[in-house]
């Protein structure tokens, strides 16, 4: 399938003015004795598409989970659009962020997971309107209009009244993409969004994401094993190994002429 070009108004355009939307500053994450992220530093500017590649277990998903506050760092700070996600200022001091602060900052971030995670008891349209109505306080009509537009964009205009279980995995994942975009996040996180799909369904989902990447200014942070997709959409690729970025650069450089032996080995195994 090929998605309609995304509607100009379907996604609030992040001002691509080069401001920093995400910053990890000396972030360390441990599980027990295992250091998963080691003093990690990187940033993503508004409107850019940054892809994280590297061997399984190198900490890529943990980065997205930290941004969704599904887990917290042991050390360091994470900033989203200039505001601390991990901390808040109280009485002139920086203290660990409370729930309310986290909820506010997290509204700027949308995520699509490997396993779709749709609400199984809600029809497609309601899956997409639920958070805009209950989290953003949008009126039902406005939320439905936004949802219809997005579902059309991802090629599902004819499936609004179905339950997730009546859809293919690829269709469910496209609902999940529409659901994330309906919150008009400034940053879209994609966590191996095609790895649970049957091979014949992968292309349809990647086409939708390519369209979004090429026709909007939304900022993306992507974990993927689809190297051709990464090459097509990325402004920058970060190569991870053992919780550190060992190499970064534009896709042409990383895929065609990497500096690091570990990057060459990894690409040799997956390409």
Give the interface size with ligand ADP as a residue count (CB under 6 A): 10
Q: Does 48 bind ligand ADP (CB under 6 A)?
A: no
Give CA–CA dist 5/213, Å, rounded. 11
> In this chain, which of 23, 48, 60, 179 binds ligand ADP, going by CB under 6 A?
60
Using alpha carbons, select from 128, 166, 131 the residue that is nearest to residue 145. 128
Least spacing, CB of residue 234 vs ligand ADP, in Å: 17
Q: Does 31 bind ligand ADP (CB under 6 A)?
A: yes
Using alpha carbons, select from 185, 167, 39, 174 the residue that is nearest to residue 107. 185
Question: Which two structure tokens, joined as six digits, stand for 17?
Answer: 């003015």
Using alpha carbons, select from 70, 65, 63 the residue that is nearest to residue 23. 63
Q: Does 62 bind ligand ADP (CB under 6 A)?
A: yes
**61/86 with CB nearer ligand ADP:** 61
Give CA–CA dist 216/222, Å, rounded. 16
| Region near ligand ADP per CB under 6 A, out of 2-10, 14-22, 50-58, 214-222 | 50-58
Least spacing, CB of residue 65 vs ligand ADP, in Å: 7
> In this chain, which of 36, 111, 131, 221 binds ligand ADP, going by CB under 6 A?
36
DSSP-derived secondary structure letter, 55: S
Q: Does 61 bind ligand ADP (CB under 6 A)?
A: yes
Using alpha carbons, select from 79, 88, 70 the residue that is nearest to residue 43. 79
Q: Does 225 bind ligand ADP (CB under 6 A)?
A: no
* Contact set with ligand ADP (CB under 6 A): 31, 36, 54, 56-62
């Amino acid at each position: 399938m090929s998605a309609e070009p995304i509607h100009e108004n379907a996604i609030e355009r992040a001002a691509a003015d080069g401001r920093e939307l995400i910053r990890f500053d000396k972030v360390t994450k441990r599980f027990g004795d295992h250091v998963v992220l080691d003093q990690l530093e990187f940033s993503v500017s508004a409107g850019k598409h940054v892809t994280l590649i590297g061997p399984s277990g190198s900490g890529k998903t943990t980065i997205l989970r930290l941004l969704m506050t599904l887990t917290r760092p042991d050390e360091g700070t994470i900033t989203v659009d200039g505001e601390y996600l991990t901390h808040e200022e109280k009485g002139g001091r920086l203290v660990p962020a409370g729930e309310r602060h986290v909820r506010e900052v997290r509204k700027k971030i949308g995520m699509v997971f490997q396993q779709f995670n749709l609400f199984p008891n809600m029809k497609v349209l309601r899956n997409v309107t639920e958070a805009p109505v209950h989290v953003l306080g949008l009126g039902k009509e406005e939320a439905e209009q936004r949802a219809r537009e997005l579902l059309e964009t991802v090629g599902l205009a004819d499936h609004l009244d179905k339950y997730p279980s009546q859809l293919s995995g690829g269709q469910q994942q496209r609902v999940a993409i529409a659901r994330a975009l309906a919150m008009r996040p400034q940053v879209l996180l994609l966590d191996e969004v095609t790895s649970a799909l049957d091979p014949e369904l992968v292309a349809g989902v990647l086409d939708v994401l390519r369209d979004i990447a090429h026709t909007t200014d939304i900022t993306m942070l992507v974990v993927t094993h689809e190297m051709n997709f990464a090459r097509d959409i990325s402004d920058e690729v970060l190569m991870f190994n053992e919780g550190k970025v060992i190499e970064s650069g534009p896709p042409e450089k990383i895929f065609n002429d990497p500096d690091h032996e570990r990057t060459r080995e990894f690409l040799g195994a997956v390409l």
